[in-house]
Structure 1
Amino acid sequence: MDTMQLGPWTFTPADFSINDGAQRKELEPLLIKLLLCFAREPGRIVSRQELVDTIWQQSYVDDNAINRAISELRKALQHPDLSQSPIKTHHRKGYSLQLPVPIANGKTAATVAPTVNSKRKHALAWWLAVSTAVVSAIAVVVYQFTAPAPSANNTTGADKLQVAELAIISQQKVTWFKGIESRPLVSPDKQLLAYSHSQSDGKIRVMVRKLGISAGNTLQEVALEGDDKLYSLQTWQPQSRNLLLQVVNKDGSNCEYQNYDFSQYPQYQVTRLTQCNGLVLGTAQVSADGQWLYYSKGSGGMYSSNALLAENLNSGTIQTLVAAPSAGFGVTLLALSADGSQLAYSLMPESNQPDIYLYDPSSREHRRVASLPFPLLLLALEWSPDQSSLLLPGGDAILQLNIRDKSRRLLKLPDGIKVGELSLLSDDKAYVSALTAGSTTQNAMQLVKISQPFDAANRQISFLHDAAGSALAMAVSPVDASRYAFSANWTGGWQLWLNQHGENIQLTELISNEQPINSISWSGDGRYIAFVKKGNLYLYDTQRQQLITKMENNDIGQPVWLPDDSGLVLTRIQGNSQNLWQLDLISNELSQLTFSAGSFAQYNANGQLLYHRDGKLYQYGDGAKQDIELNSSSDSNLMAIWLHQGQRQYRYSMLGHIEQHDASTGVTQQTQLPYQVLALHPDPHNPDQLYATVFVTPELALEFIQWQVATAD
């Protein structure tokens, strides 16, 4: 008897039934036809007329009959494991099935994410938000494994890159909650699955599920959540069922590392381990004996470099294992081997080309096992079951690093499959998330206008656009308040757009890809718009309506116009250094401005060049000893970046905080938005108006996949 799997339901058309293992429901023939119509193409919007032609096959059908049939089918498909309606209504368009349906060769037809609506609620997505904020903040391209990689023709040692094509022999969607389901973590005994769930009402919780549910048993999950707290999933302690979480108050007032003992699942015991200093880009790990907590910590603010610390949970003493570099993210991901004898970690220097290290707690020795030759924002670091290698998922491939001989193997995934996070069940089975640095730019960001941001009684927030896709960077024309330039992915790829008197005009037709336009700067006279895409610098001449490709070095970020419009100050990443350079537009000559690190350049109201280094704001003197430190971050919840607009100075956090300091009056004001702020764009014409890039919750589920090596070179 042929069946279909519709989320938690097994659908048997010939038997007129759906079954979840615990209950069986019989459906009338009309509902069976209706369900079959939706199941052929899950996620596709089916119009009412198509339903009439396919199901009723009559020239006229009363609207009430269609409404009644949809309502009855929706009611029949409701299930405790579903937090959203199984059938979505698309206003004036039709309906779509929001459940996955397996198709040929074991793959799963995924549901289509809904069109972005500016009036929907938004969530604070922990890991996705961190990644998105970082990608947009550094304004430097983050490549997946499709970027230039070492040649596979090299023959020996660490230079050797083997390539293996993976064939997916099984793929199944395993979560159905609305929102973002990410960071799958299988417990060391392979009995529990923990994952992060960002909900559309703004909550972030952690779900813990028992694996290996037998037929007839209802799926049971434990939710770790709180109305005023964000629950960040960290790691499992080796050889135990102890789960490490970071719990942060939404207002940033308190942060703790907590241990959840699930040895008697579904019951659990909670133990507070130690305080933390707010959001960091990275994960923490408890040692196998429970004596040490390894974690990364920045010197100040979200963008400052992270050091690797080890805290003794008995005595409270803290050791610095790796000092924070002068620039870059520093230490991010941590992963203890199954026996707890080795700690793997990634070190992100200025170039954002990660180095992978092993730390031996017994000998206190650090050993570098890989230095990746291309920029990559890693979201996962996983040990192989035999502890012989590390796995680094990166979009369309998984990089496997042998820790003994440092050889590398690239496991290429089939077209259409992306993996950004994974947790192994065995050598060829894993729970995965499609969350990648590239996916953060798709349907996840929108631009908002904030009027009277620091007046809670009169503050107004409105979305600038109501379109499917993402909008990221923007800048208001310095000479015309009715014009602003912005980047958006509305046509299958990122392009530069101009909003003029309320009308959106597409300015560029660049090659469509996932790499965003993430920096925009107007010249002071309003004629030229400078922007960066894929590390290349472009100018758009608004008078001639002409695009000028200025630099194709693949190392450019954050262009800022000189006060006299004769050139630009740029952030360049070369090798393992990130510094400021000045470009002369007439001669096209580049001259280096800073020599120890520099980023996020800008000019203050007095025309002085300011820049950032390791979470501190400097006034430029000579790029070295004559530079003057102006500010250092004291709040780890705020981005360690100061934005200047006239006499006002702004900072923001991913929790929605915005801080304004008025240099003319000395007054500092703060506010908190109901959205996650990924970037802030001050209005040069109106001090009582701000623009911001905020995060919009896409739909993202976990999957279980099994593979086999198809070919190897």
Structure 2
Amino acid sequence: MTLATNTAHTKTWQLGNIVYVAASRQLQCSGQQLYLEPRQHKLLLVLLHNALQVVSREQLIDTVWDGRIVSEGAINRAISMLRKALSSLDPQTEYIETLPKLGYRLRQHATVITLLPETSQPTVSKSSTPRLWLGSTLLATALCGMAIWFIITQASPQLSASGATPHTSFKGRESQLSSNSEANALLYQRTADNGNNQIWLNTLDDNQHQMLTDDATDSRYAVLSTDAKAFAYVAYTENSCKIMLQPISQTTEPGSQRELHQCPIDNIPMLSWRADGKVLYLRQRADKTQPYQLYQLVVATGKLRQLTLLPANYSGQGDTALAASTTSGSMALLRYLSPDNTELLLVDSNNGQIKTSQSLPINATALTWYNDNILLLSAGKTVYQYHIDRAQLIPLYQAADPIDSLTVLGNTLYYSSTEVHADIWQADSTGAISERINSSRLDTMPRLSHDGTQLAFLSTRQGHYQLWLQQANGALRLLTELPGQPGFIRHEWSPDDKKLLFSKDGAAYQVDVASGALHTLLPGEKQVMVANWGEDINSLIYSSQRDGDWQLWLHDIANGNEHKITERGGYSGRIWHGQLYFSKYHHDGLWFKDLRTGNEELLLAQFDKINWLNWQLDDGLLHYYQPDKGIYQLDLTTGDSKLLVSEPSQFVRHFSVRQGLAVFGRHSDVQGDIYRLPLTLVYKKPLQ
């Protein structure tokens, strides 16, 4: 049995009270909708194609996992996630039945349904009389008029996409796309040989590429004015962040740039023009500990005005992407809620007043306008269309690699997609560096066991983040799938090297290394962010913002008791010899606190906030990262400090040190190209 040999992917199914639109991976019931991840999509198609019949685990492995070796736990979790999706829409009906030692069965009848009415041209018999012929003609005309009326009044416009084709193939990475209102010019940034970024202009009429900035300055996040006569961009130096305005000509004059605004150094502004070219919109934050918010910048005067405010209890990254409409006074914003949810806001571009907002079940990172009613968003490798009038999110296209920016020119979507690989390397006590883990995907977040014999790490070699283990004999095995939606985690070995601890979506979990079994230690209500083991396997330390600011809590696993152990901030903590060593979210530095007396002191001032997730304390040896220098070791007993590993090239900043051995992540050369995707607006009758 293979899904490739049937048309199940394009059908629409009626399953009990639920309708499943396979083409968009959308479940619908009683006005509610839910989108399935690719794995659950394939799983449901197998069950639909074999409704009321038993499907064995072997059949599922063959079709859903393409014959790859997977654990029973992975299959159980996939079935469980699909059950939850169906139950969330129709909790009164049991859809999937587990038959021990046999497999699974879909308990409800599944039938293929047609959303659009079948139409045919009226036929006229040769023997018809003129009166009958005239009547048939009038009837046909009436039916045709009714059909047109039906399409206009009942059907909904929806975008469809054909296959994407490469638009650029230069060495390095092209990204951060923008375009003009005439749809004949494409602006993008491109990595130079020295590592800086330059701004380039592609005129589509002749497909010429013109370099607009040199490689002496790192120029990024450029946006083309609607008339294509100028562009704004961000110029970075070691100690400055400036928003610049530059006219466009065949030969750019040196010094023709004009500074519009000095932004805080720790900013990725993300710019967008107002249609009249007189105002720029940008996001800005005070520093990396604060969320981004939207600002309006008047080009003529440089006057800056804040447009958006965040809720008092907000704890996310803020306004992460923005796009101003070129035909209306609306601004579309993406606001981070969680690793799996994004808030889409439509605001008045003059005063920032929120018109509408909706939580979307995706981690959207970029958006652009197709027209006044349709927005295009990207999340990972997927492009979605969002219909404003009916507040509906529909998958449009699946790219081969993650998408980082997109823009529309006419009826073509241009998007930039980046291919990133990362491997795990090691440095021994002599300083010799060698590769340890590699694949064609991301291998990162290495964590050595305390005895140095095992290595736990994250990998996307099966298409999404999973927790893997390199055993003492060098063999690799998939340790566990991660709970919830696929996403990134940070994990920590237990003191006895038998378990791994991690937090995800506000909850804390432990994994049994021998079996791969996953167990929930703390529910999502605790709002766990960073979780570390305590002094032994019976306790853990975690940070949470549920009291209004980041503080550390000590939790007793055996009896469930816990208490707060910081009062003036705490983000990542560990206990050694009765002392709490910890970092803070809003401040550089590493602190220590005597848990008996409550005295708190600054231990290490040269401790950058970038160590939030990547510092270790192992039997009195503290390992941490100094930007542009490398991995340091501080002996807490003697106070001696030394550089353990100089910063490797292409360092990912994930590392672990045990028994004199350091492991760390390195990314390969980044390659990113621009693709063009033709779009067609079609009319489809919505499901009732």
Q: Which of 385, 388, 396 is the aligned partner of 1:413?
A: 396
- Which blocks of at least 5 consecutive residues in structure 2 are unaligned? 1-83, 91-154
Q: Kindly provide the amino acid, as one letter, of the partner of residue 464 in structure 1.
A: R
- Partner Cα distance (1:267, 1:399) in 2: 38
In the alignment, is residue 433 of structure 1 matched against residue 403 of structure 2?
no
TM, length-normalised to structure 1:
0.60
Q: Does 1:334 align with 2:308?
A: no
Matches within 5 A, 1:197-596: 197-198=190-191, 202-213=195-206, 219-224=207-212, 226-227=214-215, 229-249=217-237, 252-262=238-248, 264-265=249-250, 267=252, 269-285=256-272, 293-301=280-288, 304-311=290-297, 318-322=304-308, 327-338=315-326, 341-349=329-337, 353-360=341-348, 362=350, 364-374=351-361, 376=363, 378-386=364-372, 388=373, 390-394=375-379, 395-402=381-388, 407-413=390-396, 421-426=405-410, 428-434=411-417, 444-449=421-426, 461-478=433-450, 480-490=451-461, 494-500=465-471, 503-508=474-479, 510=481, 515-516=486-487, 518-531=489-502, 538-542=509-513, 544-550=514-520, 558-570=530-542, 584-587=556-559, 589=560, 593=564
Q: How does 1:119-158 map to 2 (within 5 A)?
A: none
Deviation at 1:647, TM superposition (A): 6.1
Distance in 2 (alpha carbons) for counterparts of 1:423 and 1:629: 51
Residue 282 of structure 1 contacts residue 334 of structure 1 at CA under 8 Å; is this kept in 2? no
Corresponding letter in the other structure for 2:407: S
Q: Distance in 2 between matches of 1:632 and 1:300?
A: 21
- Structure 1 Cα separation of the partners of residues 511 and 426 of structure 2: 24
Give the direction of change, closer, same or farther, for the CA distance of 1:352–1:300 in structure 2 (3 Å limit).
farther
Deviations 1:159-193 (A, max 9, x none): xxx99875324532211123333332222332211
Q: What is the Cα deviation at residue 260 of structure 1?
A: 3.0
Equivalent-residue separation in structure 2 for 1:351 and 1:665 (angstroms): 39
Whichever residue aligns with residue 174 of structure 1, its letter is H
Contact 1:164 1:710 in 2 (8 A): yes
Confirm or deny: 8 A CA contact 1:472 1:518 kept in the other structure.
Answer: no
Give the secondary-structure state (helix, strand or coil) at the position aligned to 1:447. Answer: strand
Judged with a 3 Å threshold, the aligned counterparts in structure 2 of structure 1 residues 353 and 534 are, in CA distance, closer, same or farther, namely closer
SS class of match (2:257): strand
Shift of 1:603: 1.3
The reply on whether 1:705 has 2:677 as its aligned counterpart is yes
Matches of 1:356 and 1:595 in 2, distance apart?
35
Tell me how far 1:571 sits from its aligned partner: 5.7
Give CA deviations for 1:496-530 in whole Å, capped at 9, x if unaligned. 33345571431525489993552210112222222
- Residues 352-403 of structure 1 show CA distances to partners (whole Å, capped at 9, x for unaligned) of 74333455464x3421522315351x331213444x454323343414252x
Amino acid in the other structure paired with 1:470: L
The equivalent residue for 2:574 is 603
Q: What's the TM-score, normalizing by structure 2?
A: 0.62
Are the equivalent residues in 2 in contact too, given 1:200–1:697 (CA < 8 A)?
no
Stretches of structure 1 that go unaligned for 5 or more consecutive residues are 1-146, 154-161, 214-218, 453-457
Tell me the distance in 2 between the aligned counterparts of 1:284 and 1:528.
Answer: 45
Report the counterpart of residue 140 of structure 1 in structure 2.
none
- Structure 1 residues 636 and 546, CA, compared in 2 at 3 Å: closer, same or farther? closer
CA distance in 1, matches of 2:683, 2:599: 57
RMSD: 5.0
- Helix, strand or coil at the partner of 2:517: strand
- CA distance in 2: counterparts of 1:642 and 1:561, whole angstroms: 15
Q: Secondary structure at the match of 1:701?
A: strand
The CA deviation at 1:229 is 4.1
Asked if structure 1 preserves the Cα contact closer than 8 Å seen for 2:188 and 2:222, the reply is no
The equivalent of 2:56 in structure 1 is none
Does the 8 Å CA contact 2:383/2:398 hold for their aligned counterparts?
Answer: no
Match for residue 679 of structure 1 among 649, 653, 661: 653
State the Cα deviation string for residues 310-340 of structure 1 (Å, max 9, x = none). 4556666544444577632122223222168
Contact 2:544-2:552 within 8 A present in 1 as well:
yes
Task: Report the structure number with the largest CA radius of gyration.
Answer: 2
Indicate the percent of aligned positions where both proteins have the same amino acid. 16
Alpha-carbon distance, 1:210 to partner: 0.5
Match of 1:74 in 2: none
1:367 partner amino acid: I
| Whole-Å separation in 2 of the counterparts to 1:299 and 1:666 | 35
Letter in 1 for 2:426: K
Instruction: Provide the rounded CA distance (Å) in 2 between the counterparts of 1:649 and 1:273.
Output: 42
Number of residue pairs matched? Answer: 523
1:206-238 residue CA offsets vs partner (Å, 9 max, x unmatched): 33200122xxxxx42123565564332232334
d(CA) in 1 for partners of 2:274, 2:447: 47
Shift of 1:283: 0.6
The code of the aligned residue for 1:496 comes to L
Amino acid at match of 1:549: H
User: Higher relative contact order by CA 8 Å / sep ≥ 6: 1 or 2?
Assistant: 1
| Contact 1:473-1:517 at 8 Å conserved across structures | no
Contact 2:348/2:355 (<8 A) preserved: no
Change (3 A) 1:167 1:337: closer
Contact 1:640 1:651 in 2 (8 A): no
Letter in 2 for 1:563: E
SS of the aligned residue for 1:372 comes to: strand
- Looking at structure 1, the residues matched to 511 and 529 of structure 2 have their Cα atoms a distance apart, in angstroms, of 16
Report SS of the residue matched to 1:354: strand
